Amino acid sequence: MTDTLIMPADCETMAEVRAGVDATDRALIELLDRRFGYMRAAARIKQDRASVRDEARKAKVISAAVADAAARGLPTDAIGEIWDRLVEASIAYEFDEWDRQRA
């Protein structure tokens, strides 16, 4: 196995593909850690618990992800479902953080 990330178009073996997928998964977790950090910040900043859920913002975030997916030729239905779940998980986490920070 190689230590250098090989881009998908350059992969010649399943070992290279799997190494790339594993590295990408680690990078996604790092990005999710940052995203949830923003949820902690939002919980700290928002003074009203009711403002945690913002349906207009949720729709805008999902729409932007779907549009970006479409521009990249990715499956928009799947991306929409993933982002809906991501945003719902983020909202739940922010509620938990809002409560924890004020306990």
Report d(CA 75, CA 63) in Å as an integer: 13
Query: Is 94 labelled a binding residue?
Result: yes
Query: Is 46 labelled a binding residue?
Result: yes
DSSP 7: P
Query: Is 18 labelled a binding residue?
Result: yes
Query: Is 35 labelled a binding residue?
Result: yes
**Token digits of residue 34:** 């940052």
On whether the CB atoms of residues 16 and 2 are closer than 8 A, the answer is yes
| Positions at the binding site | 18, 35, 46, 94
Binding-site residues from annotation for substrate: 18, 35, 46, 94
